[in-house]
């Protein structure tokens, strides 16, 4: 069973990496890009769990390990 | 208009960050997680482009700027 987790800077938090990329794109001629935000994407491979167990396990992992709750937020999905 | 870009290590490429996270999860009691791969996720904000133009612009940006083609692969979607 696979799960996907997205971890993004909170909307209220500055994203200096994203801003740097946006400026780089602008200087490379991609001026139509008005904003960039960069986050992390994780693919987890899980074995021996029911779908419901996987849901709660992935939520716990995303919340406790993959996300810094001060500056980041997450979302996730469990696939078959 | 928004676009999402995922950049992942190629399946044939080792992902030391992902492996480190997998071992950390295992030592934290999440032993059901058999594998982790970490990638990057970008949210782009585009203005003044048609949907078709945005598609080709985002593909060019993902290919030329956001992805290292030696070790990474990308996929993207353009949203309304």
For the domain that residue A55 is a member of, what is the CATH number?
3.30.1280.10
pLDDT attached to residue B80: 81
pLDDT attached to residue A16: 94
Q: Looking at the partner chain, which of A25, A41, A57 has a beta carbon nearest the beta carbon of B41? A: A41
Interface test with B, best of A26, A27, A33, A47 (most B CBs within 10 A): A33
CA dihedral A31, A35, A37, A43 (to 10 degrees): -60
In-domain check, residue A20? yes
pLDDT tens for each residue of B1-56: 999 999 999 999 999 999 999 999 999 999 999 999 999 999 999 999 999 999 99
Closest to B4 measured CA to CA, from A69, A3, A39, A52: A39
Q: Which two tokens stand for residue A43?
A: 């693919």
Interface check for B46 against chain A (CB to CB < 8 A): the answer is yes
3-state SS, chain A, equals CEEEEEEEECCCCCCHHHHHHHHHHHHCCCCCEEEEEEEEEEEEEECCCCHHHHHHHHHHHHHHHHCCCCCEEEEEEEEC
User: Quick one: which H or E segment has residue B8?
Assistant: strand B2-9
Question: Can you tell me whether residue B79 is helix, strand or coil?
Answer: strand
Q: Do B39 and A42 touch (CB under 8 A)?
A: yes
In-domain check, residue A30? no
In-domain check, residue A29? no
Contacts of A40 (CB under 8 A, 6+ apart): A6, A7, A8, A66, B38, B39, B40, B41
DSSP 8-state symbol, B13: S
pLDDT attached to residue B75: 98
pLDDT attached to residue A77: 98
What range defines the domain where residue A58 resides? 2-24+35-79
In-domain check, residue A69? yes
How many domains does chain B contain in total?
1
Residues of A within 8 A of B33 (CB-CB) are 44-46, 57, 61
pLDDT tens for each residue of B67-76: 999 999 999 9
pLDDT attached to residue A42: 98
Tens-level pLDDT at each residue, chain A (80 residues): 999 999 999 999 999 999 999 999 999 999 999 999 999 999 999 999 999 999 999 999 999 999 999 999 999 999 98
pLDDT attached to residue B35: 96
């Amino acid at each position: 069973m696979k799960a996907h987790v997205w971890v993004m800077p909170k909307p209220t938090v500055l994203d200096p990496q994203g801003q740097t990329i946006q400026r780089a794109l602008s200087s490379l001629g991609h001026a139509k890009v008005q904003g960039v935000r960069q986050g992390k994407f994780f693919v987890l491979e899980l074995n021996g769990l029911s779908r419901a167990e996987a849901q709660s396990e992935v939520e716990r992992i995303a919340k406790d390990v993959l996300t810094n709750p001060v500056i980041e937020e997450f979302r996730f999905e469990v696939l078959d």
